[in-house]
């Protein structure tokens, strides 16, 4: 069984990991999105609903 890290060390490592890996994840995920497909007629309503919920869900 591995020894447990102190909470302070765990918090610092978590902050570093999130600061480095989260932007990389979101950048690569964003580059994989094909925005043109979101404006197909059959997906336009769903796209509008998702944007509406995302925008007004932040309020």
Q: What is the pLDDT of residue 2?
A: 75
Structure tokens at 49: 């609903």
Mean pLDDT of the chain: 88
Answer yes or no: are the C-beta atoms of 38 and 50 closer than 8 Å: no
Pick the residue with more confidence: 40 or 53? 53
State the Cα angle at 33 between 29 and 39, rounded to 5°: 150
Asked whether 19 and 13 are in contact (CB, 8 A), the reply is no
Domain residue spans of the chain? 34-59
Q: The whole model's pTM is what? A: 0.51
Contacts of 44 (CB under 8 A, 6+ apart): 38
Helix (H) or strand (E) holding 28: helix 7-32
């Amino acid at each position: 069984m591995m020894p447990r890290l102190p909470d302070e060390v765990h918090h610092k490592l978590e902050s570093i990991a999130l600061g480095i890996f989260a932007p990389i994840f979101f950048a690569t995920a964003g580059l994989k999105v094909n925005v043109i497909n979101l404006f197909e007629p059959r997906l336009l309503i769903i796209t509008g609903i998702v944007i509406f919920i995302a925008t007004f869900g932040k309020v």
